Structure 1
């Protein structure tokens, strides 16, 4: 199943970057997992987040976070509202279901004759 992460929300943070110490570059990005096959498309409840500095172009991993960054990230995770999970069946699936039901219906009608 091909899976990908879609960007849901990007939050700029005013904390110092642990790498370049700039206060304007930190961005917290929330992503949600999407599964898409030939038969259906689904948005799952699985959420990922990553912290990047746009100034020095580096990913900031949780081991590098200061206590201030940790508190801000925890707060942002609490107030973040993800997209509601859903599953959408594609047109090809509906065609296969309709075809299968029609074959079963024809078979039953021929059996009863």
Structure 2
């Protein structure tokens, strides 16, 4: 089963970077978990966030956030509308369901026919 995180929103922040103090390098990225295997595809409700500085190429962890960055993060988190959770069954799962239904119908038919 493969799990991927798909970017659903990326925002450039005007706050100062806590590392290099640049005002134009911060990028806040929200990603949503996407799972896929041979039987289904699924979008989960799990959302992660990451704050990077493109100027000094560092990841800014929440411990390093200033109060201003925290306020801007909370604003964007409230404004975020993640993709709706869904599950899509692939062709292989439909074949398996159909096969199981045919086997059950065959067993039921055999039991009913044997009683006559």
**Fold match, TM over 0.5?**
yes
3-state SS of paired residue (2:52)? strand
> How big is each residue's C-alpha offset from its partner over 1:30-73, in whole Å with a ceiling of 9 and x where there is no partner?
00111212211111111100000111111001111111111100
Unpaired stretches in structure 2, ≥5 consecutive residues = none
**1:60 corresponds to which residue?**
60
Matched, 1:95 2:105: no
3-state SS of paired residue (1:48)? strand
Instruction: Tell me, in whole angstroms, the C-alpha distance in 2 between the residues paired with 1:69 and 1:109.
Output: 67
TM-score norm. by structure 1 comes to 0.93
The structure 1 segments of at least 4 consecutive aligned residues displaced by more than 4 Å after TM superposition are none
Instruction: Tell me, in whole angstroms, the C-alpha distance in 2 between the residues paired with 1:107 and 1:63.
Output: 62
TM-score norm. by structure 2 comes to 0.91
Q: Which structure has the greater CA radius of gyration?
A: 2
Query: What root-mean-square deviation, in Å, do the aligned CA atoms of Structure 1 and Structure 2 show?
Result: 1.1
Instruction: Tell me, in whole angstroms, the C-alpha distance in 2 between the residues paired with 1:16 and 1:38.
Output: 45
- Counterparts in 2 of 1:1-113, with a 5 A limit? 1-113=1-113
Instruction: Tell me, in whole angstroms, the C-alpha distance in 1 between the residues paired with 2:64 and 2:86.
Output: 35
